[in-house]
């Protein structure tokens, strides 16, 4: 889930930025410092929204940089358990698929790709035995986050598509169309049954 958060921290501005106005040099340093940055507590930093306030600079002996106590805003993405997320299949393996979620990557075990017996195909895709549905690189999907791990200092996100309303977007459309068709047929059958009952009840005895 995306958030806008406010952070207060001492920012180490390198000497190469000293010629710029203080606010600008701090913002440029923030962009470098937080590029591709992830923290367990705040999540993955997507962008620097802006610098709110910059205090006086402090120089530490033996360090050529200047430290500024600053307040700034960040746009972050923090994965949440049970969160629904769109993604693109970036890689297919014999044990599942890796999904590009935009900000980060997640992994779907082969048993969680669809409600079917799934096998790895020679064409580098996953295929369902009964449904014949295939999952390949580049497919757009909707998945649910079911596991978040930070073991070894590395974030791992576990996903599932083995739930109603999830899966490749084409499957979701197909299932939705089938459901709508079944509901329409059921309604039609009910109307026919109701009309039949009215006709039967309306007949006079001789």
Do 125 and 164 fall into the same domain? yes
What is the pLDDT confidence band of residue 103, given thresholds at 50, 70 and 90? confident
Q: What angle is formed at CA 3 by the lines to CA 109 and CA 25, rounded to 5 degrees?
A: 115
Entry pTM: 0.78
Report pLDDT digits (tens) over 29-41.
Answer: 999 999 889 988 8
Q: Which residue has the higher pLDDT, 206 or 129?
A: 129
Q: Which of 62, 77, 92 represents a domain boundary (last residue)?
A: 77
pLDDT given for residue 201 in this prediction: 65
Report pLDDT digits (tens) over 159-173.
Answer: 999 999 999 999 999
CATH number of the domain that residue 30 is part of: 3.30.1490.120
Do 6 and 72 fall into the same domain? yes
Please indicate, yes or no, if residue 115 is contained in any of the structural domains.
yes
Do 18 and 64 fall into the same domain? yes
Report pLDDT digits (tens) over 43-98.
Answer: 999 999 999 999 999 988 888 899 999 999 999 999 999 999 999 999 999 999 99
| Residue numbers of the domain that contains 97 | 84-170
Do 46 and 108 fall into the same domain? no
What is the pLDDT confidence band of residue 122, given thresholds at 50, 70 and 90? confident
What's the mean per-residue pLDDT of the chain? 91
Do 71 and 88 fall into the same domain? no
Do 105 and 133 fall into the same domain? yes
pLDDT given for residue 202 in this prediction: 61
At residue 185, does pLDDT exceed 90?
A: no
% of the chain with per-residue pLDDT over 90: 71
Summarize the confidence of residues 141-150 as an average pLDDT: 96
Sheet containing strand 66-77, edge to edge, reads 2-13, 66-77, 43-59, 38-39
At residue 135, does pLDDT exceed 90?
A: yes
Do 148 and 104 fall into the same domain? yes
pLDDT given for residue 142 in this prediction: 97
Do 100 and 162 fall into the same domain? yes
At residue 203, does pLDDT exceed 70?
A: no
Q: Give me the half-sphere count of Cα atoms (radius 13 Å) on the Cβ side of residue 169.
A: 9
What is the maximum alpha-carbon separation in the chain? 114
Do 12 and 89 fall into the same domain? no
d(C-alpha 26, C-alpha 53), whole Å = 10
d(C-alpha 81, C-alpha 123), whole Å = 33
pLDDT given for residue 205 in this prediction: 53
Task: Give the number of domains in the chain.
Answer: 2
At residue 193, does pLDDT exceed 90?
A: no
Please indicate, yes or no, if residue 11 is contained in any of the structural domains.
yes
């Amino acid at each position: 889930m995306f958030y806008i958060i406010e952070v207060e921290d001492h920012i180490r501005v390198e000497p190469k930025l000293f010629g710029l106005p203080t606010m600008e040099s701090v913002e440029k340093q923030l962009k470098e410092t937080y590029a591709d940055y992830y923290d367990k507590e705040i999540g993955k930093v997507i962008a620097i929204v802006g610098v709110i306030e910059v205090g006086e600079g402090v120089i530490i002996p033996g360090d050529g940089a200047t430290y500024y106590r600053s307040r700034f805003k960040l746009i972050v993405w923090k994965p949440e358990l049970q969160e629904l997320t769109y993604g693109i299949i970036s890689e297919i393996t014999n044990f599942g698929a890796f999904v590009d979620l935009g900000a980060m990557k997640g992994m779907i075990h082969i048993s969680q790709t669809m409600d079917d017996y799934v096998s790895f195909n020679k064409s580098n895709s996953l295929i369902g035995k009964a449904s014949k549905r295939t999952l390949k690189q580049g497919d757009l999907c909707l998945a649910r986050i079911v596991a978040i791990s930070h073991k070894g200092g590395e974030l791992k996100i576990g996903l599932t598509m083995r739930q109603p309303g999830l899966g490749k977007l084409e499957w979701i459309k197909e299932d939705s169309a089938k459901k709508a068709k079944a509901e329409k047929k059921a309604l039609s059958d009910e109307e026919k049954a109701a009309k039949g009952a009215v006709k039967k009840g309306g007949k006079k005895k001789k």
